[in-house]
Amino acid sequence: MQPIKIKTLLAVVLPWVCSATVGAAEDDAAASPADAAVQTAAEVADAPPSTPPPWWGEASAGVLTTSGNSETRTANGKFTLDYQRADWRNALLLQALLAADDGQTTGERYLLTNKVDYTFFEQNYFFAALDFEKDLFGGIRQRTSQTLGLGRHLLTGPAHRLDVELGAGARQQQEQDSLDKDRDLIGRFGLDYQYRINDNSGVRQTVKVESGEANTFTQSVTELKLYVIGNLFTSIMLTVQNNSSVDPGVKHTDSTTALNFSYAFGNKPG
């Protein structure tokens, strides 16, 4: 009688166990996508926020054409790219200007500057600057300078920003007509003031002076920015340059007014 009871018990229990196991597996399979979704959402919520790119810049271009009794064409472009990581910052500037009147070139200027600075004691910084300029119709045909110095952030915003720099270095330049070349030691003074009028407009004024035995070079750049939509803006820029020593018959001062359409990109702080 005992074997019959065991067989009967197994016949009753085994189908119930199999049914319960299959049902649990089906429940786990049905719950797995939901659990995975909840887990993924939790991981996304706990993930640290993405760090914005540590660089920003601007690309600008402007063209002016007139026709009639005279035909003139003027084109200019500017590109800036800044990169900042902790206390280090690198600022690159590329600029070009071309002008023609009745088919004859009347202006041709190229500019490249790069400055690296390191901030210490919050508002003070060291800097190293390299400037190259070639102007086929200016007071000086070609100028290259390398300078080191100290700067200070006198104003740090948000509406007003002001940096002042003092430095020294070397300069190589070439006269316009005689093509004579000079090499001398120079002192450098720099000023950069930015005023944020509102969210859609601002003014920037920069001044740079490089003074040596052969020549004192002074440059003033005044720029007004008006944002149109998003990152697009127009700018009016007045550049005035003066050289204390030039060839006979060459003017000491040159000025340029440019109207540009520009695009800002990256993540500029402040």
Q: Rounded distance, CA 115 to CA 82, Å?
A: 10
Per-residue exposure over 232-258, b if at least 16 CB sit within 10 Å of its own CB, e if not: ebebebebebbbebbeeebeeebebeb
pLDDT at position 102 is: 84
Q: Are 255 and 239 in contact (CB under 8 A)?
A: yes
- The tokens describing 206, both together, are 């920069």
| Per-residue pLDDT tens over the stretch 124-138 | 999 999 999 999 988
Q: Rounded distance, CA 167 to CA 190, Å?
A: 9
The domain ranges of the chain are 1-47, 55-266
Q: Are 63 and 74 in contact (CB under 8 A)?
A: yes
Q: What angle do CA 42, 44, 49 make, to 5 degrees?
A: 135
pLDDT at position 262 is: 96
- Classify 55-266 by CATH class: mainly beta
Residue segments in the chain with a per-residue pLDDT below the cut of 50:
1-4, 6, 9-10, 13-14, 17, 20, 22, 24-25, 29, 31, 37-38, 41, 44
Q: Rounded distance, CA 53 to CA 85, Å?
A: 10
- The tokens describing 39, both together, are 């887990």
In which element (H, E) is residue 77 found? Answer: strand 72-85
pTM for the full predicted model = 0.78
pLDDT at position 232 is: 96
Q: Are 57 and 266 in contact (CB under 8 A)?
A: yes
Q: Are 100 and 72 in contact (CB under 8 A)?
A: yes
